[in-house]
Amino acid sequence: MDPKSIADALTAVRHSRPLVHHITNTVTTNDCANITLCTGAAPVMAAAPEEAGEMAALAGAVVLNIGTLSAAQVESMLIAGRAANERGIPVILDPVGAGATAMRTEACERLLAELDIAVLKGNAGEIGVLAGAGGEVRGVDSAGLAGDPAAVAASCARTYGTVVVMTGPEDYISDGERTLVVGNGNPLMGCLSGTGCMTASVVGAFVAAGDDAVVAAAAACASFSRAGERAAELARGPYSFRTALFDEMANLTEDDLAAHADVRDAGAA
Ligand SMILES: Nc1ncnc2c1ncn2[C@@H]1O[C@H](COP(=O)(O)OP(=O)(O)O)[C@@H](O)[C@H]1O
Ligand SMILES: Cc1ncsc1CCOP(=O)(O)O
Ligand SMILES: [Mg+2]
């Protein structure tokens, strides 16, 4: 893919500094706030049903993450999602742990049925479960996927009428017709809780700032994973990597991204 359109997508985030409203889990909420800031956008976390719709209406994107969900939180997600849908504000769903318990799977299916989800972003196991394609999930981690990942991402996108971002050593982005693969990243990203959640935040920032959700989501994945590559050069282990990941996201330049983003059509992968 044209490296300039990837770099331009980062420029668009930094110029528009979109507000990214999150209703998210209690484990990685601070990481999501700070990676949103380091990307060049503005985070806000607001989950109370009394304000979720009002806050969503002010946002450039809404990120719904079911990592530590409750029945009440699902209701807040529906309120926020409806407010966003009424205004054409993109909603990103992170189906953390879908497939691990019936509650998580059913919550995702309800959110996907009742809301217009712009981007469904999960790991390979979560997307495989929701696609009905033999995904396996252990807690919040992917435990495997049956079949060709590009085909699963595309099939899931068609099933739900959304853009799918399926993360792993390579990230697959598909709207059901066009499927891109992002090759950037480093294995240390899989050794840290929160990198999947942060991917959703970064996707939210890029989709808020862009016109084409497939290109924006691919640019988001390339940017975050390129920051991961640079951070890995500075790290002594997972926790110094974590610090470096935020710094490298904030310091990422359009020139570096244009030179190193590895975004291809999956068919040509
Ligand atoms: N082995 C790996 N090599 C490169 N990047 C990885 C690897 N594992 C995960 N990532 C990156 O880490 C982020 C989180 O992906 P993943 O671990 O699949 O999500 P989750 O935390 O939801 O299980 C994504 O940006 C993905 O590209
Ligand atoms: C460990 C854990 N448990 C519930 S949510 C959560 C964080 C998951 O973060 P990620 O999916 O980004 O690894
Ligand atoms: Mg993880």
Q: At what angle do helices 149-160 and 124-131 cross, to 10 degrees?
A: 50
Residue 169 CA to ligand 1 center (angstroms) comes to 6
Give the ligand at the shortest distance from the Cα of 149.
Answer: 1
Phi, psi of 169 (to 5 degrees): -55, -35
Name the token pair of 197. 């959640």
What is the average pLDDT score of the chain? 97
Ligand 2 contact, 5 CB (< 6 A):
no
Residue 262 CA to ligand 1 center (angstroms) comes to 15
- Write the CA distances from 104 to 60, 74, 98, 108, 137, integer angstroms: 26, 10, 5, 6, 11
Q: Which atom of ligand 2 is nearest to the CA of 193?
A: 13
Ion ligand 3 — residues with CB under 5 Å?
Answer: 196
Percent of the chain residues topping a pLDDT of 70: 99
Q: Return the pLDDT at 61.
A: 99
Ligand 2 contact, 99 CB (< 6 A):
no
Percent of the chain residues topping a pLDDT of 90: 96
How far apart are alpha carbons 61 and 56 in whole angstroms?
A: 8
Residue 196 CA to ligand 3 center (angstroms) comes to 5
Residue 1's pLDDT band (boundaries 50, 70, 90)?
confident
Tell me the helix, strand and coil percentages in the chain, rounded to 5. Answer: 55, 20, 25
Q: Which atom of ligand 1 is nearest to the CA of 168?
A: 18
Here the ipTM equals 0.98
Q: Which atom of ligand 2 is nearest to the CA of 194?
A: 12
Q: Return the pLDDT at 236.
A: 97
Q: What is the mean pLDDT of residues 212-235?
A: 98
How far apart are alpha carbons 97 and 142 in whole angstroms?
A: 8
Q: What is the mean pLDDT of residues 161-179?
A: 98
Q: Return the pLDDT at 267.
A: 77
Q: What is the mean pLDDT of residues 211-229?
A: 98
Ligand 2 contact, 155 CB (< 6 A):
no
Q: Which atom of ligand 2 is nearest to the CA of 28?
A: 7
Condensed to tens digits (0 to 9), the pLDDT of residues 22-77 reads 999 999 999 999 999 999 999 999 999 999 999 999 999 999 999 999 999 999 99
> Which of 189, 198, 252 to mutate to test ligand 1, by most ligand atoms within 8 A of the CB atom?
189
Ligand 1 contact, 49 CB (< 6 A):
no
pTM: 0.98
Given a cut of 50, whether residue 269 has pLDDT beyond it is no
